[in-house]
Structure 1
Amino acid sequence: MVQTIRIEAEARERAGKGAARATRREGLVPAVIYGAKQEATLVALDPRDVMKELHKGGWQGHLYEVAVKGGDTVRTLMRDVQFHPVTDRPLHVDFQRVAPGTRIRVRVPVAFLNEESCPGLKEGGVLNIVRRELEVLADPDAVPEAFEIDLAAATIGDSLRWSAVKDRFGTRSVIDRDFVVATIAPPTVVEEVAAPAEPAAPAAPAKGKAAPAKKK
């Protein structure tokens, strides 16, 4: 199951653009925790903690315990990060509270098993991944690290769908159909185009014969 990651935070008292700029001048990233029918909680984060999570990848499927200094520890999902258009530094982070007893909407990456023994790939086919992440509704305590699809029997032309996921861990897809996750596409054939023939050089006049005179 997905791990819960702890992030230290400091409380902020004031909202608004001016207060957010003041937080950034202090070297921190302003953030807000909202949802679960409670008032929003304003916090400030160490930018190194934010960048560490973003570099990991898959942060939209992780659970975060935001520990507010001198306050509560809130179980959340990181929903959005705003970046500076020039420096790409994080400017603001949105967290959503995870209410007890409710399902959460998360994105879970897909892992493909037995690529080395896949008949379609061994015959020259290409694994065409349509969806690298699957968006599902899940119990907060049962969010999988990844969904697995086995390619051991996949041949050229096969479509691997949601129904091919080995274990769904009690999750439910937000798409109400058996959608395509990947296909085994036929090999790409590159046709060689023949270069155009060079025009033949004019024949040289035979020895001993003068070239025909040009008409005046």
Structure 2
Amino acid sequence: MKFVAYERQKQGTGASRRLRITGRTPGIVYGGNAEPQLIELDHNALMQAIRKEAFHSSILEMELNGQTTKVLLRDLQMHPFKPLVLHVDFQRVDANTRLHMKVPVHYRGEEESPAVKTDKCLVNHVVTELDITCLPADLPEFIEIDLSGLKKGDSLHLNDITLPKGVKVVTHGKPNPVLVSVVAPAEEEEIAPAPAAAAPEKGKGKGKK
């Protein structure tokens, strides 16, 4: 994805506030061999971009002063309740330096799996994104996992999938975390009717002495 940034001359809270009034969003780009640089972006264009998954998880091409630089979105500060981006941070990409990123997981095929199609089970997506490291050239936009082979009682672990070339997952101490679990459908319990109270037998009342 490509986007256009403009050099920002002024900084500070007041300058950023005035910039937002004009429809621009303040930001910064840092990393690599260059000094951090203040930038600004068109807010409307930025809002359209952040609605796309790829803007958050793939390498972007930033055009600034007629030059194109590869960057990653690193931080996005939103207004607490308005659809307004307050500030945005980008990091320059070095082709020889491994990245540490979170990428989304896309699951497919579960509706065709025996677990769902035959046994009417529920498929629980325990993990929806993976924390990975890789070189920039190997960064996937997302990781796709086929669930069409799931059966009742199955659990899909990290070691059960094939990762894209050059990609390693950071598991934070969990060597083989569960990605997907299959939950059997809840069975309705049959409630037995309560036994009727026994009626007192006639003629067995206490007689008078």
Whether the TM-score (by the shorter chain) exceeds 0.5 is yes
| Percent identity for Structure 1 against Structure 2 | 34
Q: Equivalent residue for 1:189?
A: 187
- Are the aligned partners of 2:122 and 2:182 in contact in 1 as well (CA < 8 Å)? yes
Using the TM superposition, name which of 74-83 and 53-62 deviates more: 53-62
* Alpha carbons of structure 1 residues 26 and 119: separation in structure 2 relative to 1, 3 Å: same
Partners of 2:108 and 2:41 lie apart in 1 by 38
Q: What code does the residue aligned with 1:102 have?
A: T
Equivalent residue number for residue 62 of structure 1: 58
1:160 aligns with 156
Q: Which residue of 2 aligns with 1:116?
A: 111
Residue 28 (structure 2) aligns with: 32
Q: CA deviation at 1:194?
A: 8.4
Deviations 1:60-114 (A, max 9, x none): 212111111x253221111111112231211111111112301112222222233
Matched, 1:134 2:130: yes
| Offset, 1:195 | 10
What is the root-mean-square deviation of aligned Cα atoms in Å? 2.3
Report how far residue 132 of structure 1 moved: 1.1
Q: Paired residue for 1:41?
A: 37
Equivalent residues of 2:58, 2:140 under 8 A apart? no
Which deviations, in whole Å up to 9, do the C-alpha atoms of 1:36-75 show, x marking residues without a partner?
Answer: 353211111011221112212353212111111x253221
**Structure 1 Cα separation of the partners of residues 44 and 134 of structure 2:** 29
Whole-Å separation in 2 of the counterparts to 1:147 and 1:25: 39
Cα offsets for 1:135-168 (capped at 9, x unmatched): 1112212222332322233212211111222342
Name the structure 2 match of 1:125. 121
Question: Which amino acid in 2 is paired with 1:9?
Answer: A
AA at the equivalent of 1:81: L
* Aligned match of 1:84: 79
State which structure, 1 or 2, has the greater radius of gyration over its C-alpha atoms: 1
The 3 A distance-change label for structure 1 pair 26 and 195 is farther
Q: Is the contact made by 1:80 and 1:93 (CA closer than 8 Å) also made in structure 2? A: yes
The number of residues matched between the two structures is 192
Q: Kindly tell me: are residues 144 and 32 of structure 1, through their superposed partners in 2, closer, same or farther at Cα, counting changes over 3 Å?
A: same
Q: Does the alignment pair 1:73 with 2:68? A: yes
The unaligned stretches of length 5 or more in structure 2 are 195-209
SS at match of 2:35: strand
Aligned to 1:208: none
CA distance, structure 2, for counterparts of residue 157 and residue 59 of structure 1: 37
